[in-house]
Amino acid sequence: MTLSLPSAPAAGTPMTTGKTARLSERLTDRLAVLWWVPRGIIFGLMAFFIFGPLFNMLLWTVAEKWYFPHTLPLQYGFSSWEKVFAPRGGALDSLANSLLVAVLTVIVSLLLAIPSGYALARLKLPARSLILLAFLIPQAFPNLTVYVNVARIFYEIGLNGTVPGVVLVHVSHGLVYAVWIATAAFSAIDGELEQAARNIGAGALRAFRDITLPLAAPGLIASAIFVFLESLDEFTGSYFVGAPDVNMLPLLLYTAGAGGNYQVASITALLLLIPSLLFMMIVERFLKADVLSRVGH
Amino acid sequence: MSGGSLFRRGETNHPLGTKSMSSKRLLGLLLVLPALLVIVVLFIIPLILSAVGAFKVDGAFGLGNFVKTFELYTQDIVFTLLITGLSTILIGAASVAIGGYLTLGEHPRAVAILKFLYRWPMFIPFIVVGQILRTFLAKNGMMNNVAIELGLTTPLDAVSLLDWRGIVIAFVWKQTPFVALLVSGAMASLNRDTIEAARNLGASRLRVLVEIIVPQVAMTLTVGLVLSFVTMMSVLSVPLMINAQSPTMLTADIAFRVNSYGDYGVANALGIVSLVLASSVAWIYLRASMKERA
C-alpha cells in the first residue's frame, strides 16, 4: 500500500527515486490484477453452484426428450407447458389457491404481529424471551405429526379441506417471521418520537398510527414478504389440511416429481420461483441493517 | 381488527405512558395475547395431543412406541443429528465468510459481485430446492455432465450425490444466504472505528474478522443458525426428494410411518425425539439471549 503512494516525486528529488516509485506502483497494480484469479475462481464456482441448478430446471421445462448420458436435451418443445396450462391441467387452480391463501395469511399474520411486535419492543413484558421463543415453536418441531392432529381437529369442526383452514395453519407457521421482524422494526425506532407526539397532545393510538407505524412500515413490509413466501413454500400443512379439496402448487410439484414427470415438476417449480426471485430483489429496500441486527433480540 | 380495540384500551389506561409498570405489563400481555393464542390453539395443543399419542399403545399408556422407535430408527436419529449439525457448521462458516468479505472487502467491484451472487437461493422454496438439486446432482445431472465435458470425469465414473451429501448440499445451498443476510446486516451496523484502528495497527483482515467482528455479531449468528437448525429438522420435502432410502431424516420416517402403516404411535414418538433434539438447540439460543440481557 505505502509503496504506491509517492507516485509524483517532489521537486528536486533525483529522477531515479521517481522511476523506482513508478515501477513499484505498476508492480502493485499488476499484483492487484492478479487477485482477480482467486476471486474469479471462487465467484465462478459460486455462480455455477447457484445458477447451475436453476439453469438445469429451465432446460427441463422445455425438454421433450432427455436421457443419460446426453448433456443437453435431445429435443425441445412446449408440449409440457400446454399440458400444465390446459383447463384440466390443474396448475391454474393450484396457482390461484396458492396466491389466495398466501395473501390471506399475510393479512391475518400482520394483524396479529403488529400489536405483538409493538408490545415486545416497547412495553416491559414478563418472560419476554419465552414469549419470543413461543413463536419459534411451530418452526422448531417437525410439524408433520402436529398437522395430522390439526387435521383431525379441523375435520371435526368442518375446517378441513377449506381455504380458512389452510390459512390458519400457514399463519401459525409464519408468525415467527411476522412477530420477530415486527419486533425488530419497532425497536429500531426512536421511542422519543412517539413520546414527543404524546406530549403535544396526541392519543396513544394516534401517535402509533401517525408516527410509529409509518416509521416501522419498511420492516413490516419485509415481514409480510417473508410470511407470503413461507405460505407459498408450505407443503406439509397444505397436504394434510388442504388436499385434496384445496390444491396448491407445492403439492402439484411434489406429485409430478414423485411420478418422474420432471417437465411438469420443473414448470411448477418455475411458477413458484418467480415471486420468490422478484421479492429477493426488493427485500433489501425494506429490510435495513438497523432492523436486521435486532431480529431475535 | 382486534388490534384496534386493544390500542384504544391502552389509550385510556396510561395517558402519558408513565402510568404504573403493572398496567403497562397488562397492556403488553393483552397485545401479545391474540398471536400467542393462535400458537397455542393451532400448535401447542395438537403438539400435546401428539405427545400423549406417543405414549399410548392400544389405548393404554406405555413406552412401546419408543421401544419400537429406537429399535427401528436409532440409525436415522444419529443420521439426522449428524446431517443437520454438519449443515449448520457449514452454513455458519460460509455466512461468516460472506458477511466478512462484504464488510472488509477492499475492492468495491468484488464486493458488488458477491452481493449480487450470494442471495439467490434465499427465497427459493424448499420443495423447489429439492426438485432442482435432484436434477442437478443426479448421476446424469448437470454437475456430472459439466465435469464430463471438462474431462474431469467419465460417464462411467460419474457418481450420484443423491444421498446424505445431497441433503447437506441442499440445506447449505438454501440456508446460507438467509444467515449471511442476517450476519452481514449486523456487521454493517457495527462501529467501524475499532475495525479501522485494528487495520491501521497492521492486523490482517482475517484476524479482524475472527477477533473483532465475529464476537460482536455472535448473537445474530446464533439466532440465524438456531432458526436454520430447526428449519432443517422440520423439512420434509428435501429428504423425500433427494434421499428417501435408509438411512434418512426423521421427517421422512414420520411421513412413511403415517402413509404406509397408519402408525401414529411411532410417528408421534419420532416427533418427540426430534422435538428433544431441536429444543436442546433452542435452549442454546435462550441461554445466550439471557446472558446478553443480564
Given a cut of 60, whether residue A9 has pLDDT beyond it is no
pLDDT computed for residue B20 by the predictor: 63
Q: pLDDT per residue over A199-238, tens digit each?
A: 888 888 888 888 888 888 888 988 898 899 889 888 888 8
pLDDT computed for residue B2 by the predictor: 37
Write the CATH number for B155: 1.10.3720.10
- Sign of the Cα torsion A170, A171, A176, A177 reads positive
What does the pLDDT average to over B115-119?
Answer: 89
Domain boundary residue, one of A61, A82, A103: A82
- Sign of the Cα torsion B237, B241, B242, B243 reads positive
Q: Same domain, yes or no, for B7 and B137?
A: no
Q: Same domain, yes or no, for B66 and B211?
A: yes
**Could you tell me the residue range of the domain that residue A139 belongs to?**
85-292
Q: Same domain, yes or no, for B153 and B7?
A: no
Angle CA(A289)–CA(A292)–CA(A294) in degrees, nearest 5?
115
Q: Is A190 exposed, middle or buried (0-12, 13-18, 19+ CB in 10 A)?
A: exposed
A279/B contact by beta carbon, under 8 A = yes
Q: Same domain, yes or no, for A124 and A193?
A: yes
Domain boundary residue, one of A47, A63, A82: A82
- Fill in the DSSP letter of residue A246: S
Q: Same domain, yes or no, for A73 and A194?
A: no
**Which A residues, 189 through 218, put their C-beta within 8 Å of a C-beta on chain B?**
195, 198-199, 203-205, 208
Contact B39 A138 (CB under 8 A): yes
**Which A residues, 71 through 130, put their C-beta within 8 Å of a C-beta on chain B?**
71, 111-116, 118-120, 123-126, 129-130
Q: pLDDT per residue over B43-86, tens digit each?
A: 889 989 888 988 988 878 888 899 999 999 999 999 999 999 99
Given a cut of 60, whether residue A57 has pLDDT beyond it is yes
Q: What is the pTM of this model?
A: 0.79
Contact A43 B114 (CB under 8 A): yes
> In the structure, what pLDDT confidence band is assigned to residue A113 with cuts at 50, 70 and 90?
very high
Contact B43 A232 (CB under 8 A): no
The alpha-carbon gap from B165 to the nearest alpha carbon of chain A, in Å, equals 14
Q: Which residues contact A17 (CB under 8 A, 6 or more apart)?
A: A9
B223/A contact by beta carbon, under 8 A = yes
Buried b / exposed e over A30-62, threshold 16 CB at 10 Å, is: eeeeeeeeebeeebeebeebbebbbebbbbbbb
Contact A143 B234 (CB under 8 A): yes
Q: Same domain, yes or no, for B151 and B255?
A: yes
**Could you tell me the residue range of the domain that residue B205 belongs to?**
60-293
Q: Is B268 exposed, middle or buried (0-12, 13-18, 19+ CB in 10 A)?
A: buried
Q: Is A24 exposed, middle or buried (0-12, 13-18, 19+ CB in 10 A)?
A: middle
- Sign of the Cα torsion B183, B187, B190, B195 reads positive
What total number of domains does chain A contain? 2
- The minimal CB distance from A293 to the residues B4, B25, B186 is found for B186
Q: Same domain, yes or no, for B136 and B11?
A: no
Contact list in A for residue B221 (CB cut-off 8 A) is: none
Q: Same domain, yes or no, for B102 and B239?
A: yes
Q: Same domain, yes or no, for B137 and B49?
A: no
Q: Same domain, yes or no, for B49 and B117?
A: no
**B61 three-class SS:** strand
Q: Same domain, yes or no, for B192 and B168?
A: yes
Given a cut of 50, whether residue B4 has pLDDT beyond it is no
Q: What percent of chain B has pLDDT over 90?
A: 29
Q: Same domain, yes or no, for A116 and A151?
A: yes
**Which B residues, 132 through 151, put their C-beta within 8 Å of a C-beta on chain A?**
132-136, 139-143, 145-146, 148-149
Q: Same domain, yes or no, for A259 and A271?
A: yes
pLDDT computed for residue B16 by the predictor: 44
Q: pLDDT per residue over A153-193, tens digit each?
A: 888 898 888 999 999 999 998 898 899 989 999 988 887 88
Domain membership flag for residue A16: yes
Q: Same domain, yes or no, for B287 and B186?
A: yes
Q: What percent of chain A has pLDDT over 90?
A: 22
Q: Same domain, yes or no, for B48 and B174?
A: no
pLDDT computed for residue A114 by the predictor: 94
Contact B271 A146 (CB under 8 A): yes
Given a cut of 60, whether residue B89 has pLDDT beyond it is yes
Given a cut of 80, whether residue A7 has pLDDT beyond it is no
Angle CA(A13)–CA(A14)–CA(A17) in degrees, nearest 5?
90
Q: Same domain, yes or no, for A123 and A75?
A: no
Reading the block at residue A165, the C-alpha cell is 383452514
Q: Same domain, yes or no, for A47 and A137?
A: no
Q: Same domain, yes or no, for A123 and A264?
A: yes
B120/A contact by beta carbon, under 8 A = yes
pLDDT computed for residue B40 by the predictor: 92
- Chain A residue with CA closest to B268: the answer is A145
Q: Same domain, yes or no, for B34 and B103?
A: no
Q: Same domain, yes or no, for A248 and A278?
A: yes
Q: Same domain, yes or no, for A162 and A216?
A: yes
Q: Same domain, yes or no, for A21 and A121?
A: no
CA distances from A7 to A197, B94, B200 (A): 57, 39, 21
What does the pLDDT average to over B20-42?
Answer: 86
Given a cut of 80, whether residue A68 has pLDDT beyond it is no
Contact A124 B25 (CB under 8 A): yes
- As a whole number of angstroms, the distance between CA A254 and CA A233 comes to 12
* Most B-contacting residue of A33, A144, A177 (CB-CB within 10 A), to test interface: A144
- As a whole number of angstroms, the distance between CA A159 and CA A106 comes to 19
Nearest partner of B97 among B250, B213, B238, judged by Cα: B213
Contact A52 B146 (CB under 8 A): yes
Given a cut of 70, whether residue A75 has pLDDT beyond it is yes
Q: Same domain, yes or no, for A138 and A31?
A: no
Reading the block at residue B84, the C-alpha cell is 443437520
Q: Same domain, yes or no, for A203 and A67?
A: no
Q: What percent of chain A has pLDDT over 70?
A: 90
Chain centroid to CA B197 = 35
Domain boundary residue, one of A33, A55, A82: A82
Q: Where are the alpha helices (DSSP H) in chain A?
A: 15-34, 36-61, 79-85, 91-122, 128-134, 137-140, 143-156, 163-187, 191-199, 204-207, 213-233, 236-237, 249-258, 262-286, 289-292
The ipTM of this complex is: 0.79
Contact predicate A207/A198, CB 8 Å: yes
Q: pLDDT per residue over A138-153, tens digit each?
A: 776 667 778 878 887 8
The alpha-carbon gap from B58 to the nearest alpha carbon of chain A, in Å, equals 18
* Most A-contacting residue of B39, B109, B287 (CB-CB within 10 A), to test interface: B39
Contact list in B for residue A280 (CB cut-off 8 A) is: 119-120, 122-123
Write the CATH number for A199: 1.10.3720.10
What total number of domains does chain B contain? 2
